[in-house]
């Protein structure tokens, strides 16, 4: 019975920004738990390579290339998945970017680029998928927030703003959609070894600071996010709504 609670067999999951890094790892974790997974990204070549990688592991994977920052492309992409593959049971809003610049030098154009990728996409894809889930009376939406939903660091103030907004948008989605049978929650990763963070991983000063700041004493491994995703995607979390689970090695627990 306990294992059945986490079984995703027969469910279809769409993971945005999943051609590499955290998104691909989450797709792998959901796939290994039994879900059929649909990978999304803008680079068709990278997306096809990721799908082939998962299929090589025996997982049921497909590609859905569309731009999550374009509402028309999102509507068409979600419709194509629903019509051609099946109804989306699980959505993971993972797509996002990082731009590091002191706030006084941050350009307006880059601000809007970051907000489109990190915040607008969560609204666009979340709304498009929820409109399909609501008539079915069920669905799981998992937004990828961040440690920076709660705390800021130098040179990433706009990223912090975007992820703080994702945290509260998650609560808003829950408030509107829980009555329709949807569960909307978020995962807040701490510092993980990813392509997005590679420059920080390679910086001896930052690496030493991070390990000293984190009670676990190390960087996170992307596969360590899979458990939280499986939990929030499964029947084990059917009465959990509007919550953010921080997977950060204890950073937020200590000064």
pLDDT in tens, 152-183: 999 999 999 999 999 999 999 999 999 999 99
The pLDDT of residue 196 is 80
Q: Which of 166, 158, 124, 161 is nearest to 142 (CA)?
A: 166
The pLDDT of residue 74 is 98
- Which of 124, 154, 159, 191 is labelled catalytic? 159
Is 159 marked active-site? yes
| Residue in the block written with tokens 């937004």 | 143
Helices 121-136 and 71-84 meet at what angle, rounded to 10? 40
Helices 157-177 and 108-115 meet at what angle, rounded to 10? 30
Quote the CA–CA distance of 129 and 82 in Å, as a whole number. 9
Question: Would you place residue 195 in the very low, low, confident or very high pLDDT band (cuts 50, 70, 90)?
Answer: confident
Quote the CA–CA distance of 213 and 219 in Å, as a whole number. 10
> What is the average pLDDT across 51-71?
98
Asked if the model's pLDDT at residue 1 lies above 90, the reply is no
Q: Is 28 exposed, middle or buried (0-12, 13-18, 19+ CB in 10 A)?
A: buried
Quote the CA–CA distance of 147 and 139 in Å, as a whole number. 25
Superfamily of the domain at 4-246: NAD(P)-binding Rossmann-like Domain (3.40.50.720)
The 10 Å Cβ neighbour count of residue 212 is 8
Phi and psi angles of residue 120, each rounded to the nearest 5 degrees, phi first: -60, -40
Question: Would you place residue 3 in the very low, low, confident or very high pLDDT band (cuts 50, 70, 90)?
Answer: confident
Q: Taking the CA of residue 71 as centre, how many other CA atoms within 13 Å lie in the half-sphere pointing to its CB?
A: 6
Q: What pLDDT, in 10s, does the model give residues 103-132?
A: 999 999 999 999 999 999 999 999 999 999
Question: Would you place residue 191 in the very low, low, confident or very high pLDDT band (cuts 50, 70, 90)?
Answer: very high
């Amino acid at each position: 019975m306990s294992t059945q609670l986490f079984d995703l067999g027969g469910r279809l999951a769409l993971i945005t920004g999943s051609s590499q890094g955290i998104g691909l790892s989450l797709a792998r974790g959901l796939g290994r738990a039994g879900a059929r997974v649909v990978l999304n990204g803008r680079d068709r070549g990278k997306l096809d390579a990721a799908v082939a990688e998962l299929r090589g592991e025996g997982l049921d994977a497909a590609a859905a290339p569309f731009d999550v920052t374009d509402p028309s492309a999102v509507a068409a992409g979600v419709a194509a998945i629903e019509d051609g593959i099946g109804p989306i049971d699980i959505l993971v809003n993972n797509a996002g970017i990082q731009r590091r610049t002191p706030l006084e030098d941050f350009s307006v154009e880059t601000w809007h680029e970051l907000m489109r990728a990190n915040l607008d996409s969560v609204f666009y894809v979340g709304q498009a998928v929820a409109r399909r889930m609501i008539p079915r009376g069920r669905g799981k939406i998992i937004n990828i927030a961040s440690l920076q939903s709660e705390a800021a660091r130098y040179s990433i103030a706009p990223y912090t703003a975007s992820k703080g907004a994702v945290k509260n948008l998650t609560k808003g989605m829950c408030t509107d959609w829980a009555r329709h049978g949807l569960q909307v929650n978020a995962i807040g990763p701490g510092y993980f070894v990813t392509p997005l963070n590679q420059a920080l991983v390679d910086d001896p000063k930052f690496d030493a600071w991070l390990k000293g700041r984190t009670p676990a004493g190390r960087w996170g491994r992307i596969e360590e996010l899979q458990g939280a995703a499986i939990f929030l995607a499964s029947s084990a979390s059917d009465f959990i709504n509007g919550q953010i689970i921080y997977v950060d090695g204890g950073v937020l627990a200590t000064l």
